């Protein structure tokens, strides 16, 4: 891809660090390969929300409250296995233990406020 000044969009040589036109420093945009925890978080939260909705549709006998309780107890106990039994992906495939662990770690980091927003 052509290197362009991020300020004035003038074409720059690979070797140029500063734009010869406006003097703006060129900041290398490195590809963010690491998964953004917030992104991962939102994906998993999305899965959980869909699960909530899905369970309510497919299994009417699951009251949202009881599911919420099971979900909360899995989180409280930090039990990924328990969580995998409750949570599924959008396409109804079960979440993996690793995903459940990541989810629990994120809850640890972010606190449970985010969950409560959805509960
Ligand atoms: Zn420039």
- pLDDT digit string (tens) for 54-77? 555 555 445 556 667 777 788 888
For residue 30, what pLDDT band results from cuts at 50, 70 and 90?
low
Q: Are residues 88 and 103 in the same domain?
A: yes
Q: Are residues 46 and 92 in the same domain?
A: yes
Which of 105, 87, 1 shows the shortest CA–CA distance to 49? 87
Length of the chain: 119
User: How many domains are there within the chain?
Assistant: 2
For residue 10, report the distance from its CA to the centre of ligand 1, in Å. 5
Q: Are residues 73 and 98 in the same domain?
A: yes
Q: What is the structure's pLDDT at 61?
A: 46
For residue 108, report the distance from its CA to the centre of ligand 1, in Å. 44
For residue 103, what pLDDT band results from cuts at 50, 70 and 90?
confident
For residue 16, report the distance from its CA to the centre of ligand 1, in Å. 11
How far apart CA 64 and CA 34 sit, in angstroms, is: 35
Surface-to-core class of residue 76, CB atoms within 10 Å of its CB (0-12 exposed, 13-18 middle, 19+ buried):
exposed
Which of 47, 67, 48 shows the shortest CA–CA distance to 59? 67
For residue 11, report the distance from its CA to the centre of ligand 1, in Å. 8
Q: Are residues 50 and 74 in the same domain?
A: yes
């Amino acid at each position: 891809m052509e290197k362009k000044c991020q300020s004035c969009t003038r074409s720059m040589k690979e070797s140029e660090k500063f734009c010869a036109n406006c003097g703006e420093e060129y900041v290398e945009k490195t590809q963010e390969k690491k998964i953004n925890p917030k992104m991962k978080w939102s994906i998993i939260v999305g899965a959980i929300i869909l699960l909530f909705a899905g369970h309510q549709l497919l299994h009417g006998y699951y009251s949202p409250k009881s599911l919420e309780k099971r979900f909360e107890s899995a989180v409280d106990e930090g039990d990924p296995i328990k969580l995998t039994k409750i949570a599924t992906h959008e396409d109804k495939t079960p979440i993996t233990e690793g995903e459940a662990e990541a989810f629990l770690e994120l809850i640890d980091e972010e606190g449970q406020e985010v969950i409560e927003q959805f509960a």
